[in-house]
Amino acid sequence: MSTTIDPWVRGLTIGEALRRRASELPDHEALVFPQRGFRATYAEYDTQVDAVALGLLAMGIENGDHVALWATNWPEWVLLHLATARIGAVLVTVNPAYRGHELAYALEQSDARALFMIDGFKTSDYFALVAEACPELADAEPGQLRAARFPELRWVVSIPEPAGAGMGTWAAMIEAGAAVPESELRQREAQLDPEQPINLQYTSGTTGFPKGVLLSHRNLLLNAFYIGAFQNLTQDDRVCVPVPFYHCFGCVIGTLCSLVHGATMLVPAEYFEPVATLDCLENERATSLYGVPTMFIAELEDPSFDGRDLSSLRTGIMAGSPCPIEVMNRVVEDMGATEMTIAYGLTEASPGITMTSVDDPIEVRVSTVGSSFPGVETRIVDSASGATLPDGEQGELCARGHNVMIGYYKMPEATATAIDGDGWLHTGDLAVRDPDGNFKITGRIKDMVIRGGENVYPREIEEFLYARDDVEDVQVVGVYDAKLGEELCACLKLREGASPDPEDIRQHCADRLAHFKVPRYIWFVDEYPMTVTGKVRKFKLREQAESHFGIEPPA
């Protein structure tokens, strides 16, 4: 891909980008939700976003107000995403897996003016959880909420009907918006600045409280442009997006990337289901597939995979967590996605920092996370001294450019820790750059295990064990040890029918790895504790491993 290409979205807002696409490709299919029977062309997409935007104006949502959204992958999620951007409101994305106290934290910390929500996710009853977090809702009139803990919150709106007590409804909002003159919407749009915040996305919060990342129109549109360009996306592509919208992977690399490149976005189900994803790939003739490694593993291992016609599949993105080389090889060979790419980044980077291109040799695409995007500077630094390290040396990956967040909402100290005085975002990830400018992610600084004074990076051991034929997936964590400080525990998911002896696994490591990298504990598991985005919650896995082996760390 040419690094000199000038993004057409530069200087635009997200609402303007949609208007441009609707003008150029009015009859081209934009959105498809097969399970919901929802299909929309770009012209219909634009019209429906206008209807939601007018509804938000009828609710009294002002430029800069915060609007929270607690839902899985429904069509309304996308419409609200674009509508809030069109009127200058900041969309607060709430993790569908949140429980009542986590929802309350997000609403309070974000100063949300409105909360849009569905009725539930898996076993969670959202109406009950919001009533628990906000007991004043039961006695409120829609739009008149006054809650002690949430002084800014006025509206709770249910997308499905019937709504719970005190809630407005999506249908009522659309009806109210029909009475608002379109001139008011155009006037609001004219007030917007591409540099203003438009999304507030909470980090996963695997340790401590989640931090709200503020991102602008410019952050998101430029990221979406380059991520699509590295896949060579055009209006002929059909992009399958099984990742959750609440996360940057879904709402930037998914929704906005498809929009910017005029592609069709296919959403298999409201949350990840391997069979639904494979059905969507096959029936909708997807050309691009997104996912984290665990999703690709689930698709490849699904009993229905063999015999599928996936011949339309060309490219896609594997991201979100380190990709085992063997998984990438299987996606290329067994799925036929010969132009599959790897992307690397984090929410604070909107989210992309580096990516492989479809033009890269397969060796680069299976062993690195590619090179940095145009307009993004990268460097590897020594975490202790801050000195820039040469190619081939491991250090912390830092980035600077159009992708770096505005900052953490109401957390100036945390922002100053993440972004230094020269504008460099410190990722917390360890990496090595090769002479060609491609990066290899070697671990997270916080994941590092210190065993008897030796620094051990789990990624190396995971890659080594994943190469075994009997291993489907592997995660390595450090567990407490009174003598050495920490010991290594390899938590393995085995392929069907495999039954290796733990000592065999340990000896396999001892034959090929330095002694301090050999896991003392081998644990065969059926599943890992996961985030909704498919990332393994390693701190929780560590706790489970310590409990399983009867290890009691000091208080």
For residue 327, name the pLDDT band (cuts at 50, 70, 90): confident
* Mean per-residue pLDDT of the chain: 94
As a whole number of angstroms, the distance between CA 454 and CA 350 comes to 34
Q: Tell how far CA 206 is from the center of its chain.
A: 14
Torsion of CA 15, 18, 24, 27, to 10 degrees: -140
Among 129-133, 301-305, 529-533, 535-539, which stretch is predicted with the lowest mean pLDDT? Answer: 529-533
pLDDT for residue 539: 87
What is the three-state SS of 444-463?
EHHHCEEECCEEECHHHHHH
Q: Encode pLDDT of 229-254 as tens digits.
A: 999 999 999 999 999 999 999 999 99
The reported pLDDT for the residue numbered 367 is: 87
**pLDDT band at 208, cuts 50/70/90?**
low
Over residues 470-497, the pLDDT tens digits come to 999 999 999 998 888 889 999 999 999 9
Answer whether residue 264 shows pLDDT above 90. yes
The stretch 309-327 carries a mean pLDDT of 89
Question: What is the tens place of the pLDDT at every residue in 281-290?
Answer: 999 999 999 9
Q: How confident is the model at residue 4 (pLDDT cuts 50, 70, 90)?
A: low
Instruction: Give the confidence band of 1 by pLDDT, cuts at 50, 70, 90.
Output: low
Q: For a pLDDT cut of 90, what percent of the chain falls above it?
A: 82
At 39, the amino acid letter reads R
Per-residue confidence at 206, pLDDT binned at 50, 70, 90? very low
Q: What average pLDDT score do residues 501-518 get? A: 90
3-state secondary structure of 134: coil
Domain ranges of the chain: 42-202, 448-548
Beta bridge partners of 264: 238
Give, in order, the Cα–Cα distances in Å from 521 to each of 428, 432, 483, 505, 506.
27, 29, 15, 10, 8
Burial class (CB in 10 A: 0-12, 13-18, 19+), 187: exposed
* Integer Cα distance of 95 and 246 in angstroms: 6
Q: By three-state DSSP, how is residue 130 classified?
A: helix
Which H, E and C letters describe 175-237, residue by residue? HHHCCCCHHHHHHHHHCCCCCCEEEEEECCCCCCCCCEEEEEHHHHHHHHHHHHHHCCCCCCC
No. of H helices and E strands in the chain? 18, 28
Hey, how many other C-beta atoms are within 10 angstroms of the C-beta on 316? 25
Cα separation, 424 vs 241, whole angstroms: 31
CATH homologous superfamily of 42-202 equals ANL, N-terminal domain (3.40.50.12780)
C-beta of residue 308 within 8 angstroms of C-beta of residue 300: no
Structure confidence at residue 204 as a pLDDT band (50, 70, 90)? low
Summarised one tens digit per residue, pLDDT across range 419-474 is 999 999 999 999 999 999 999 988 778 787 888 777 787 888 998 899 999 999 99
Q: At what angle do helices 217-230 and 14-24 cross, to 10 degrees?
A: 50
**Percent of the chain residues topping a pLDDT of 70:** 98
Give the residue-averaged pLDDT of 8-23. Answer: 98
Token couple for 482: 């009174």
Segments of 298-413 assigned E as strands: 315-318, 339-345, 352-355, 371-372, 376-381, 395-401, 407-408
Question: Binning pLDDT at 50, 70 and 90, where does residue 67 land?
Answer: very high
CA dihedral over 239, 444, 207, 216, signed as positive or negative: negative
CB 462 within 8 A of CB 474: yes
Per-residue confidence at 546, pLDDT binned at 50, 70, 90?
very high
Least confident piece of the model among 102-111, 162-171, 506-515: 506-515
Write down the pLDDT at residue 205: 47
What is 448-548's CATH topology? Answer: GMP Synthetase; Chain A, domain 3 (3.30.300)
Distance CA 379, CA 426 (A): 10
Question: Cα-flanking dihedrals φ and ψ of residue 61, to 5°?
Answer: -75, 125
Q: Does residue 307 sit in helix, strand or coil?
A: coil
**pTM of the model as a whole:** 0.86
The yes-or-no answer to whether 42-202 and 448-548 have a common fold is no
> Are the C-beta atoms of residues 389 and 376 closer than 8 Å to each other?
no
Cα 31 from Cα 78, distance rounded (Å)? 9
Q: In this structure, how many other beta carbons lie within 10 angstroms of the beta carbon of residue 196?
A: 17
Query: In the predicted model, is pLDDT for residue 514 greater than 90?
Result: no
In angstroms, the CA 494 to CA 481 distance is: 26
Q: Report whether the peptide linkage leading into residue 351 is cis, meaning its omega lies within 30 degrees of zero.
A: yes
pLDDT at 3: 52
Answer yes or no: is pLDDT of 524 > 70: yes
* pLDDT value of position 207: 43
Tell how far CA 266 is from the center of its chain: 17
Predicted confidence at residue 324, as pLDDT, reads 77
Task: Give helix 42-58 / helix 182-190 axis angle, nearest 10°.
Answer: 90
CA 236/CA 500 separation, integer angstroms: 47
Rounded Cα gap, residues 199 and 204, in angstroms: 15
